[in-house]
């Protein structure tokens, strides 16, 4: 890792402005949903994070300066934040002002009625716990991880406002909110003087729900969009082209069911892989290029189980833009495949 920041390298990176804010994010960001908990060796995750940051001085022309977490990332819950906090202390502390670090709260974190959803009590208590695990005074972005139909939106938004007013978050975001609730949250935040910076929805060639109305809403509001699961929980990689290999995520019940990998779905995936090959890209690289084709998408969140996988995915930015003909070919096979695990939240309201 470079010992001194190199200001000139930022001119070589691919950054996109987040909506109408002053913040720019790298086109590819690193999510710590999987592979950074206590079920994996600390040093393997550390190597990925170090390489992600250092990519800014390689031929890929991109530094992954945005690291995305949530309170319950692990396993066990909280361990990804603890481990990343240790990586900050070990390696990244001198570069804190070059990083965007985000976390979220909304899903189950601890037992009892105050350990999930969108109440003020849960969100602010969770943020304090996250900061303690991360060893930070503040995060750059704090998200409401999902819409809570049982809590007034004014209360959830009020907690986000307080996080900024207390200096514990610089910006706030929401995740898996419908277009309608996004507009309502944005207006409440605007009135309170804390603009909605960003929305984090699931989005991929096999899960295109945001194209119905959410992207239009975000574009109109001037809110950024960072897509998670752009590789459809691994379906848009070469891992499942010939079936379900032993030990894969689908066999472990980790956010991808074997039931989704039927022949009809795999026929589309294989066709998309052929399109990728014609562009001299991997299927994963094509999937990332495709998700970034719309200028309203600020960034895509990738996971990584190894340094090599990280480098291969970031190299998607070296590929040429998609042509109109290629987009038409992709549209034939970029069809809903039933993998939107967050549909209940994003359809609420």
Q: Using one digit for the tens of pLDDT, what is the confidence trace for 183-219?
A: 999 999 999 999 999 999 999 999 999 999 999 999 9
- Cα 289 to Cα 23, 28, 51, 235, 323, distances in angstroms: 22, 10, 21, 16, 11
| pTM of structure | 0.92
- When pLDDT is cut at 50, 70 and 90, the band that residue 265 belongs to is confident
Which two structure tokens, joined as six digits, stand for 98? 């070059």
DSSP 88: I
Q: Distance of alpha carbon 173 from its chain centroid, rounded?
A: 12
Question: What are the pLDDT digits (tens) for 4-33?
Answer: 444 444 434 589 999 999 999 999 999 999
Res. 241: pLDDT tops 90? no
Which two structure tokens, joined as six digits, stand for 212? 């119905």
Return contacts of 12-18, CB within 8 angstroms, 24+ apart: 12/56, 12/61, 13/56, 13/61, 13/62, 13/63, 14/61, 14/62, 14/317, 16/295, 16/298, 16/299, 17/224, 17/298, 18/197, 18/198, 18/224, 18/298
Among residues 227, 340, 237, 342, the alpha carbon closest in space to that of 294 is found at 227
Q: Cα 187–188–189 angle (5° rounding)? A: 90
């Amino acid at each position: 890792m470079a010992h001194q920041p190199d200001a000139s390298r930022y001119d070589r990176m691919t950054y996109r402005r987040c909506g109408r804010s002053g913040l720019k994010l790298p086109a590819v960001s690193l999510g710590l949903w999987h592979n950074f908990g206590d079920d994996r060796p600390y040093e393997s995750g550390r190597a990925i994070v170090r390489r992600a940051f250092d990519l800014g001085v390689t031929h890929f022309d991109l530094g992954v300066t945005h690291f995305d977490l949530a309170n319950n990332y692990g396993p066990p819950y909280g361990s990804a934040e603890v481990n990343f906090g240790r990586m900050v202390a070990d390696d990244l502390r001198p570069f804190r002002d070059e990083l965007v670090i985000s976390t979220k709260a909304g899903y189950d974190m601890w037992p009892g009625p105050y350990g999930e959803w969108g109440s003020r009590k849960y969100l602010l208590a969770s943020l304090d716990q996250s900061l303690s695990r991360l060893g930070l005074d503040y995060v750059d972005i704090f998200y409401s991880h999902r819409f809570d139909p049982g809590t007034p939106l004014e209360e959830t938004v009020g907690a986000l406002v307080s996080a900024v007013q207390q200096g514990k978050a610089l910006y706030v975001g929401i995740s898996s909110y419908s277009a309608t609730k996004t507009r309502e949250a944005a207006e409440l935040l605007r009135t309170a003087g804390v603009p909605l910076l960003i929305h984090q929805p699931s989005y991929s060639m096999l899960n295109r729900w945001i194209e119905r109305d959410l992207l239009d809403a975000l574009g109109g509001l001037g809110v950024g969009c960072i897509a998670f699961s752009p590789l459809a929980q691994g379906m848009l990689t070469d891992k499942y082209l010939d079936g379900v290999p032993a030990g894969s995520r689908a066999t472990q019940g980790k956010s991808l069911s074997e039931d989704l990998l039927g022949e009809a779905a795999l026929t589309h995936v294989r066709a998309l892989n052929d399109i990728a090959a014609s562009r001299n890209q991997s299927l994963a690289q094509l999937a990332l290029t495709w998700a970034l084709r719309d200028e309203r998408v600020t960034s895509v969140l990738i996971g990584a189980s190894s340094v090599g996988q990280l480098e291969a995915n970031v190299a998607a930015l070296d590929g040429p833009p998609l042509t109109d003909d290629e987009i038409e070919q992709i549209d034939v096979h970029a069809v809903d495949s039933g993998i939107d695990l967050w549909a209940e939240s994003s359809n609420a309201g």
